[in-house]
Amino acid sequence: MVDTTTLCLFDVDGTLTAPRQKAIPEMHAFLKKLRNNVKVGVVGGSDLDKIKEQLGEDVITKVDYVFAENGLVAYKDGSFLSRQSIQNHMGEDVLQEFINYCLTYIAKIRLPKKRGTFIEFRNGMINVSPVGRSCSQEERIEFYELDKVSLFIENCYRTAAQ
């Protein structure tokens, strides 16, 4: 019998899957087995399409809750529940000022590689990627290692705070 008073929530990237990778069969089996005992939900910073890429097209029916975009887009029992938006909360002027700052900063730094989609707008966040969201996993790792030394992300934050 399922304990409906207990909900186990799991982050997608780095918990259920390696970042931006597909879940392994053992993880799917674990979630299925757990769901026999308690309510199960997944939470991710990505939109539902990206969560589906990692956990399967049928993810909203394989778990009880899916909270996409850091919880701002919610699904329950396979159906859409609600949506919130950073744009409504902050306003267009503030968002454009931030986006323009990030694009200017990214344009000024020199990296071994840059790929497309440097800013991805989501309902609850703006994902900024100096190397580009469409980079390969190898390029992502290369940037991560370079950033540990060159501190591109930290310097961006520090400059923005001034």
Tell me the C-alpha distance between 7 and 74, whole Å. Answer: 15
Q: What is the DSSP string of the chain?
A: --EEEEEEEEETBTTTBSTTSPPPHHHHHHHHHHTTTEEEEEE-SS-HHHHHHHH-TTHHHHSSEEEEGGGTEEEETTEEEEE--HHHHH-HHHHHHHHHHHHHHHHH---S---S-SEEE-SS-EEE-TT-TT--HHHHHHHHHHHHHH-HHHHHHHHHH-
Position of tokens 């757990």? 34
Active site residues: 11, 13
| β-strand partners of 66 | 42, 75
